[in-house]
Amino acid sequence: MSMEDVAGLLFDVNVAGLVRDVVAEARRLAGAECVYIAHGQVRAAIVPQLGGKDAQGVFLIVESHPPGATIVRPRLAKSEPEKTDLQSGSLTDVISTMKIWHHEVRALREYDDPEETKNPNEVSGGLPETDRNKF
């Protein structure tokens, strides 16, 4: 079985070109520094790995297995499917699904941004506090 290196992992020659196209689209969506190798998978994230910490907002996971590759739905994305085998006819479907996952994960990351400055007069739900004597 012939293998080819794509983004630092070995994939079967039959799917290496497809994986390369998916990774290129992920780099276009998230930036080159956000595509990395972890746990034997190619991953793409919204926030890159910094100072030894894991990347945040993973929206694409590509696993290598003989004789092909599998696209795995990230934990934060909610739309189906959970796993998809990468095949020549499924490239456009995989890229459109990846864009949906990117949008879902980005929306969650923007909502849960820890660096967001919070108004002291708001509770965690975002509603204004009505009892002014509480402060």
Confidence of residue 11 (pLDDT cuts 50, 70, 90): confident
Pairwise CA distance, residues 27 & 34, whole Å: 7
pTM over 0.75? The answer is no
| pLDDT value of residue 43 | 84
CA–CA distances in Å: residue 44 to residues 36, 64, 90, 133: 6, 15, 19, 47
- The candidate with the shortest Cα–Cα distance to 17, out of 93, 68, 82, 84, is 68
For position 2, what pLDDT does the model report?
A: 85
Cβ proximity of 23 and 41 under 8 Å: no
> What is the average pLDDT score of the chain?
75
What pLDDT shows up at residue 51?
66
Q: Per residue in 42-75, pLDDT tens?
A: 888 877 766 666 677 888 888 888 788 888 888 8
DSSP 127: P
